[in-house]
């Protein structure tokens, strides 16, 4: 019996080839365009209409039906409001991780199943095998960092075909099939605001923020900032503190509205070895990690760091063999056993 799969078709090359490959493999394929965000921002025209047009064209060319799932209100609640709330608290949240957790692998998954699907598929660069998540073949494109919070149910019923391919191979296979998205540029920036800077987005949402002092190594005021929420740990650019060595943000005091900086790369405030994690999530089933060589990354595309992990309920302590720079509250630390994603959590202050 042919298995029915719903493919999240975004209008990009990766999901387009995903749909084409699954049809060639004999699946009963239905395309779904998720309408998550349609709002234009200052200096940025939301490309959703163009993306939807490309998705429809790909579906027509492949001879598969396409549906639209409108998740805009849920996306605002779970992803956009989460981002804004995090910055207001002084942390630096990762909306792409929450989008995958709440929208693509929960709302889409559930809606597809209610619609008769047996499986879902996406164009993510990761590998799903036997209900476990692994890094992609193309390590430069690997997206497992953003996927570690999806549920065991989703992993058991998800296909990610391009995870076994490199990006150049994906484009080559798309060209071979005449897909109109074969040479379409990848989207950049935060998932829903594209090339708009996070500062511009926050100002559009919250208005101008209260200025405050920038404090240097000796406790002296060395400049002024235009809102502590705009700054993140380790940040170097955009401080407008002139002269001499570059400054790096070490921490913030949201109550006093102060941003603390240093010129010293060996400043202990810039480095972390024991990292507290909250909302810890096992990727797949909870794993027995005794005797397993673990590594962690504390931000997307960071280098693997050998580590140890202690988990109690939804809290954990990640102990790195070597201290990492600019570990940022609100971001995620993701733990691996080789290429297998073990789990991860939100970095806490």
d(C-alpha 346, C-alpha 94), whole Å: 9
CB of 3 within 8 A of CB of 38? no
Q: Which of 58, 99, 162, 335 is catalytic?
A: 99
SS3 (DSSP) at 294: strand
d(C-alpha 264, C-alpha 266), whole Å: 5
Active site residue 307: no
SS3 (DSSP) at 79: helix
Active site residue 46: no
Strand ranges of the sheet holding 212-215, from the earlier edge strand across to the other edge: 221-225, 212-215, 258-262, 248-253
Burial grade of 259 (CB within 10 A; 0-12, 13-18, 19 or more): buried
Helices 167-176, 13-24: crossing angle, 10 deg rounding = 60
Q: What is the DSSP string of 179-222?
A: -TTTTPPPP-SBTTTBTS-HHHHHHHHH-----EEEE-TTS-EE
Burial grade of 244 (CB within 10 A; 0-12, 13-18, 19 or more): exposed
β-strands 119-121, 132-135 pairing? unpaired
Q: Which of 155, 191, 229, 334 is catalytic?
A: 191
β-pair partners for 231? none
Residue 207 CA: distances (Å) to CA of 197, 232, 259, 326:
15, 19, 19, 28
d(C-alpha 74, C-alpha 36), whole Å: 8
Residues with a catalytic annotation lie at: 99, 191
């Amino acid at each position: 019996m042919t298995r029915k799969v719903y493919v999240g078709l975004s209008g990009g090359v990766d999901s387009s080839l995903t749909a084409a490959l699954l049809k060639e493999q004999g699946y009963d394929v239905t395309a779904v365009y998720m309408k998550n965000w349609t709002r234009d921002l200052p200096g940025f025209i939301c490309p959703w209409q163009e993306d939807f047009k490309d998705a429809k064209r790909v579906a027509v060319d492949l001879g598969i039906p396409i549906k639209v799932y409108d998740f805009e209100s849920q996306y605002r609640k779970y992803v956009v409001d989460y981002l804004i709330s995090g910055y207001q608290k002084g942390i630096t949240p990762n909306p792409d991780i929450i989008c995958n957790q709440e929208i693509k692998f929960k709302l889409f998954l559930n809606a597809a199943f209610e619609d008769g699907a047996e499986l879902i598929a996406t164009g993510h660069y990761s590998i799903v095998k036997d209900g476990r998540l692994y890094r992609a073949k193309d390590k430069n494109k690997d997206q497992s960092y953003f996927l570690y919070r999806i549920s065991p149910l989703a992993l058991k019923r998800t296909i990610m075909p391009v995870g076994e391919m490199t990006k150049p191979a994906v484009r080559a296979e798309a060209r071979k099939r005449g897909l109109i998205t074969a040479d379409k540029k990848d989207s950049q920036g935060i998932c829903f605001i594209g090339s708009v800077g996070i500062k511009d987005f926050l100002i559009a949402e919250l208005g101008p923020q209260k200025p405050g002092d920038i404090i240097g190594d000796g406790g002296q005021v060395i400049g002024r900032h235009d809102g502590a929420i705009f700054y993140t740990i380790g940040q170097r650019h955009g401080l407008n503190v002139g002269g001499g060595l570059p400054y790096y943000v070490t921490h913030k005091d949201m109550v006093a509205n102060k941003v603390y900086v240093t010129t010293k790369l060996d400043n202990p405030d810039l480095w972390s070895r024991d990292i507290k994690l909250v909302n810890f999530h096992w990727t797949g089933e909870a794993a027995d990690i005794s005797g397993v060589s673990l590594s962690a990354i504390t931000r997307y595309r960071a280098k693997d760091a050998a580590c140890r992990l202690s988990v109690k309920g939804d809290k954990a302590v990640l102990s790195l063999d070597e201290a990492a720079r600019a570990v940022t509250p609100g971001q995620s630390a993701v733990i691996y056993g080789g290429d297998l994603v073990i789990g991860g959590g939100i970095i806490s202050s």
